[in-house]
A and B are shown apart, each in its own frame.
Chain A
Amino acid sequence: MVTIEIDGISLSVDASKTIIQVADEAGVDIPRFCYHKKLSVAANCRMCLVEVAGARSALPACATLVSEGMQIHTQSTVARNAQRAVMEFLLINHPLDCPICDQGGECELQDMSMGYGAGISRFSERKRVVPDKNIGPLIQTDMTRCIHCTRCVRFGQEIAGIKELGATGRGEHMEIGTYVEHSLISELSGNIIDLCPVGALTSKPFRYKARAWEMTAHPSVAPHDAVGSNIEVHVRRNEVMRVVPRDNEALNESWISDRDRFSYLGLNHPERCLKPLIKIHGQWQETDWQTALEFAVEGLKSVKAKNGPEQIAGLISPTATTEEAYLFQKWLRGLGTDNIDHRLRQQDFVDDACDYSLQDWDLSALSRSDTIVMLGCSIRSEQPIIAHRIRQANTRGAAVFDINFVGHELFMSDVHQHVVSPVAMMQMLSGIVKSLLPLAKDIDTSDWLPLLSERTPTAAEQNVAMQLSNANESVILLGELLEQHPQGAKYRKLASLISRLTGAKLVWLPKANSVGHWQAGAIPSPKASKAIPLNALSMWQQSCRAYVLFNVEPELDCVNPVLAMSSLQHASFVVQINNFVTQQMQSYADVILPLAAFTETSGTFISINKKWQSFTGAVAAKGDSRPGWKILRVLGNISRLSDFDYVSSEDVLSTLKTELRIQPHGEQQTYLPEDLQLEQGLTYIAEVPSYRCDSLVRRSSALQNTPEMQELTTVKIHPELAQKLDLQDGQQVLLSQHEQQHALELKLDETVARDCVYLQATTSVSAQLGAAMTRVDIKPAGSLT
């Protein structure tokens, strides 16, 4: 600790800090452009020059460490003159086109020039002009405005893990760009919009839409992944104009993913459902809420009367709020059914009774970890902010193992990547367990011994085992591809055993608000009736008579689209409560209730670190749509259920807080797999692309225009498999699964495991296929057999 003085205020501060950090903490304002608390210090804009007593000239506050007895003046003549001179230099080439600049009104340069700039310019020469670059559908560039602070360059290098932007040329010819024009591929790229202190990088979809001072900011929480990134929704005249991050050190720090930033564009999609719809004699008609709600309850009651309550099944999207999930299950349980689930893409439920949830784990623990093992996890698309945390750990030197069926670029250095088939992954996990057995002192592993193969663990397996057991803090992350696997429990139990043997934390990455859904009881657990409740898969397999879908598009969101759609077609009554209305919905549903989107409702998301984050609506619900909790409350009222007189979502929240987390129905608390065998043959790897994960994201035009969304319907296999099957790159192939067949274009891709066929899920093509992660066959299109 050292004692310093800033503008006459005496402070005792940490000697490892810079003047600007100390000043920020003390609330002393120092102007800056290139400095950012989350980025390395560049000290190239010189705006933060301050006077330090005894120094020969003004010093950059961002790059000068404090020292004992330092006397700093931020407002002295020396400091002010230095700042004014820098400002004059910065404005030499800046176009001053504020009236047509999107940054106008929230521009750091504009504000600074008000504070530190001269009223007139002494510069009468011609200003330079820099051509704009096309860096993709999300970010607009106006490079003439750039002041070369290099925040965007450092962001790419240090946070996103991929340096796509750089400063080329020298002196007057220096430009920020990609040199060879291409779209930025980082899933966090939108953050450079906020970082840019001027209008050089602005939001493309938001361009010319609104002025900063016309909008009101509403704090909210992003619903697309389990991080629950804190966001601010900017609203003008009851329209969401844009979404920007809100700092939260425990979760998203200062960043949000592009998905959270641009999903709002889906709010005004033409498919938005604006009126309650009911189908009478095969004809869809708009109606009022009362009629629609009564119609829904009547329909379900008649199924209940005719077929029994266990013929009613309810599925809810994990993007729904905790309050919605709570009322959804409460209403359906009130009707007498326990067939309730939110785990739309899970296929194996035998280990349902095993509790995988962690009590004390948060994202900062992840950044601190020494060893991170990811299993079947495409982390950059599943949970972009968690990918960033892993990158932080990696930068600190953590060993990162990525064991998956497809190899994605992680933008981290020295990742141990193992692209394996499902069978090989099982072998690998049992190999890891085998290498750990000698360490198992207090843990009884006798049950497992007969299951593990005779094979000696490979060097790679021993390496994972060693890194996990030697780490002070380590974590095993289970991803979506593993969750989808029909034998997922075998993997989970092996991973859980590894975690017990090594002390590594096991984190089954939740989807969106699924932590909240567990808390709210949106899982099949026998509470309302004695019947064995149906889960998200068995309710399709058993083909129920009635379904209630809450913001679910089964042909896209569910793991077995064909099965789901056929069960829906055979059902006698289907209630769809959704943000959107599609032709598919109209083909199977009987009533469609327009649901308010997350920006239009109040509620609570529970993030991966178990933090309850409540938010309120930023805008009024669109059209006649209503917040989910209100719809469900009235459905409860019309169904004449008791305890359904909530007047606000806070009411719902306080009730659900008093109820304990329930455990789903399961055979045995300590499930042990009978064997570790898997079906042989090619496996259909159906991965959910980043920007297809929920109904709102799927309808965000800008996200759909990104380069990574352009190859959605291409089948990919490893070149070696292609050679074995005599298939060529670019050829039309027939993908077949049971009775379903589909002709698609083939692309050879070395990043796909050898016994796998990769096709992205949640597309119009995958909607016509069956279960993910099961057997699939591939042959040239047009062949006879």
Chain B
Amino acid sequence: MTDMQVTGPAEQLFNEQLRHRLDSWIVKYPVNQSRSALIPCMHLIQDANGGWLSEDLLKALAVYLDLPFISVMEVATFYTMFELSPVGKHKISVCTNISCQLNGSEAIVEHLQQRLGVKLGETTDDGKFTLREVECLGACCGAPMLLLDKQYHEFLTPEKVDELLEGIK
């Protein structure tokens, strides 16, 4: 999204609509504790920016929340759900942690790689999918699982994966 302002005074950053949504999170926390709103704000900006956060946007967010830039980066680099470079339209995060691994996540990864023609961490040429490996997402009871955008999909088999991909074509 290119219509976002990333420099200038705080009250002009991003755009009006996004500012409104950021503010709705900021007011949930006590004054001078805007830091608490950092993660929800990053989600909002990431969604508004096609799924990733640029350095400029994060700098602007630091100004908006009156936080040191490095404090914003600490959080942005800590969580795998925040993307710091452009990603595909849909993000597939496959869990390869122990429960999923014991239940066959390797086969799921293999299948996805073949089907999409990309390796883990890569984006398809048409920019539609980004494939990622993630650590435990807390759905061990449904292993193996993946996260497609914001939806969990559990008890995966290669066929179920195909179905899933067909569904969003």
Q: Which residues of A contact B (CB under 8 A)?
A: 157, 162-170, 178-180
Are B69 and A180 in contact, CB atoms less than 8 angstroms apart?
yes
Collect the chain A residues with CB atoms within 8 Å of residue B74's CB: 166-168
Are B70 and A165 in contact, CB atoms less than 8 angstroms apart?
yes
Are A166 and B71 in contact, CB atoms less than 8 angstroms apart?
yes
Collect the chain B residues with CB atoms within 8 Å of residue A169's CB: 77-78
Distance A162 CA – B69 CA, assembled complex (angstroms): 10
Are A163 and B71 in contact, CB atoms less than 8 angstroms apart?
yes
Distance A170 CA – B79 CA, assembled complex (angstroms): 8
Distance A169 CA – B79 CA, assembled complex (angstroms): 8
In the complex, 13 of the A-B residue pairs with CB atoms within 8 angstroms, ordered by the A residue number, are A163-B68, A165-B70, A166-B68, A166-B71, A167-B74, A168-B73, A168-B74, A168-B77, A169-B77, A178-B70, A179-B69, A179-B77, A180-B69
Q: Does B149 contact A (CB under 8 A)?
A: no
| Interface flags, B35-67, vs A, CB<8A=1, else 0 | 000000000000000000001000000000000
Contacts between the two chains (Cβ within 8 Å), count: 31
Distance A180 CA – B68 CA, assembled complex (angstroms): 12
Query: Please, how many residues of chain B have a CB less than 8 angstroms from a CB on the other chain?
Result: 10
**Interface of chain A, helix or strand or loop or mixed?**
loop
Are A180 and B77 in contact, CB atoms less than 8 angstroms apart?
no
Distance A563 CA – B61 CA, assembled complex (angstroms): 51
Collect the chain B residues with CB atoms within 8 Å of residue A167's CB: 74
| Interface flags, B73-117, vs A, CB<8A=1, else 0 | 110011100000000000000000000000000000000000000
Are A163 and B78 in contact, CB atoms less than 8 angstroms apart?
no
Are B78 and A170 in contact, CB atoms less than 8 angstroms apart?
yes
**Shortest beta-carbon distance, B144 to chain A, in Å?**
22
Distance A162 CA – B71 CA, assembled complex (angstroms): 11
What 10 A-B pairs come out closest when comparing CB atoms? A166-B70, A163-B68, A168-B77, A179-B73, A166-B74, A170-B78, A169-B77, A168-B73, A168-B74, A163-B70
Collect the chain B residues with CB atoms within 8 Å of residue A168's CB: 70, 73-74, 77-78
**Shortest beta-carbon distance, A165 to chain B, in Å?**
7
Q: Name the one of B55, B70, B78 contacting A164, with C-beta atoms under 8 angstroms.
A: B70
Q: Which residues of B contact A (CB under 8 A)?
A: 55, 68-71, 73-74, 77-79
**Shortest beta-carbon distance, B57 to chain A, in Å?**
14
Are A180 and B55 in contact, CB atoms less than 8 angstroms apart?
yes
Distance A165 CA – B70 CA, assembled complex (angstroms): 7
Distance A682 CA – B33 CA, assembled complex (angstroms): 43
Are A170 and B77 in contact, CB atoms less than 8 angstroms apart?
yes
Collect the chain A residues with CB atoms within 8 Å of residue B79's CB: 170
Collect the chain A residues with CB atoms within 8 Å of residue B78's CB: 168-170
Collect the chain B residues with CB atoms within 8 Å of residue A157's CB: 68
**Shortest beta-carbon distance, B56 to chain A, in Å?**
11
Collect the chain B residues with CB atoms within 8 Å of residue A165's CB: 70
**Shortest beta-carbon distance, B38 to chain A, in Å?**
13
**Shortest beta-carbon distance, B42 to chain A, in Å?**
14
Q: Name the one of B55, B68, B77 contacting A162, with C-beta atoms under 8 angstroms.
A: B68
Collect the chain B residues with CB atoms within 8 Å of residue A178's CB: 70
**Shortest beta-carbon distance, B97 to chain A, in Å?**
13
Distance A168 CA – B71 CA, assembled complex (angstroms): 9
Distance A641 CA – B157 CA, assembled complex (angstroms): 104
**Shortest beta-carbon distance, A131 to chain B, in Å?**
15
Q: Which residue of B lies closest to A169 (CB)?
A: B77
Collect the chain B residues with CB atoms within 8 Å of residue A179's CB: 69-70, 73, 77
**Shortest beta-carbon distance, A471 to chain B, in Å?**
22
Collect the chain A residues with CB atoms within 8 Å of residue B68's CB: 157, 162-164, 166
Most buried by A among B70, B74, B77: B70
Distance A164 CA – B73 CA, assembled complex (angstroms): 11
Q: Which residue of B lies closest to A175 (CB)?
A: B77
Distance A178 CA – B74 CA, assembled complex (angstroms): 10
Collect the chain A residues with CB atoms within 8 Å of residue B71's CB: 163, 166
Collect the chain B residues with CB atoms within 8 Å of residue A162's CB: 68
**Shortest beta-carbon distance, B78 to chain A, in Å?**
5
**Shortest beta-carbon distance, A399 to chain B, in Å?**
16
Distance A505 CA – B102 CA, assembled complex (angstroms): 72
Distance A178 CA – B73 CA, assembled complex (angstroms): 9
**Shortest beta-carbon distance, A164 to chain B, in Å?**
6
Distance A207 CA – B105 CA, assembled complex (angstroms): 50
Distance A69 CA – B68 CA, assembled complex (angstroms): 43
Distance A220 CA – B37 CA, assembled complex (angstroms): 48
Distance A721 CA – B53 CA, assembled complex (angstroms): 38
Collect the chain A residues with CB atoms within 8 Å of residue B70's CB: 163-166, 168, 178-179
Distance A170 CA – B73 CA, assembled complex (angstroms): 12
Distance A163 CA – B69 CA, assembled complex (angstroms): 8
**Shortest beta-carbon distance, A734 to chain B, in Å?**
32
**Shortest beta-carbon distance, A771 to chain B, in Å?**
37
Distance A157 CA – B68 CA, assembled complex (angstroms): 9
**Shortest beta-carbon distance, B63 to chain A, in Å?**
14
Q: Which residue of A lies closest to B74 (CB)?
A: A166
Collect the chain A residues with CB atoms within 8 Å of residue B55's CB: 180
Distance A221 CA – B106 CA, assembled complex (angstroms): 65
Collect the chain B residues with CB atoms within 8 Å of residue A166's CB: 68, 70-71, 73-74
Q: Which residue of A lies closest to B32 (CB)?
A: A413
Known: A164-B68, A166-B68. 4 other contacts (CB 8 A): A157-B68, A162-B68, A167-B74, A168-B77
